[in-house]
Amino acid sequence: MVTGGASGIGRACAARLAGAGARVVVVDRDGAAAAEVAEAIGGVAVALDLTDTAAVETIDADVDVLVNNAGFQHVAPLPEFPAETFAALQRVMVEAPFRLVRRALPHMYARGWGRVVTISSVHGLRASAFKSAYVTAKHGVEGLSKVIALEGAPHGVTANCVNPGYVRTPLVENQIADQARAHGIPEAEVVEKIMLARSAVKRLVEPAEVAELLAYLCTPAASFITGTSIAMDGGWTAS
């Protein structure tokens, strides 16, 4: 199961897992886009808004691999940050993963094998101004992942976070205008001066690169990797 699987990182992860032989459940609030991806990879589409906690409890979560990827972004100074947007971000990026994993684990435990991979962010390890909700959510789900790792270890279940820098996705492209406004710079300068300023490698991460790391974490060779956060941030956290 890949949440937010209709575009960006989620779509790349769904395609990569399907290529490895998995039957992927593509979960996204955009049902039509999810159906398109599912048809292309031989998977199953589920239209679901993760802010709807009651609806999250109805989905069939008996899966062997759970990829918590869905998320969204809002950029604004703290005094201007809408409280309802802050709460919605936590529901999608922290509460939904919790609700899904608590229902997926019994199936994984019964099989004696499972993988929970959270597509976190460099913002799960570092903070940036004007992203209070996103940074809070990513730090929160990092903690959840560690608890899953500790509880799941006796049952053959691993849990890890993948922490990319800025990835070439609609989520990143759609925040350029907000970043420009918040920092008081032209949109054309946002990628260089804001997004890549702390990265030693001066380019955006490609979704396929994230998906490849995810796929590795699902292999037998990665069975001893659990409870950790793997940065693929171009050197951002090295400084």
| Burial of residue 185, with CB atoms counted within 10 A of its CB: 0-12 exposed, 13-18 middle, 19 or more buried | middle
Residues 6+ apart with CB under 8 A from 150: 227
Q: Which two tokens stand for residue 231?
A: 């940065």
Q: Which of 109, 134, 166, 216 is catalytic?
A: 134
Catalytic site residue 134?
A: yes
DSSP assignment of 30-86 equals -HHHHHHHHHHHT-EEEE--TT-HHHHTTS----SEEEE---------GGG--HHHH
- Retrieve residue 59's tokens: 């989905």
CA–CA distance, 94 with 102 (Å, rounded to integer):
12
| Residue positions annotated with a catalytic role | 134
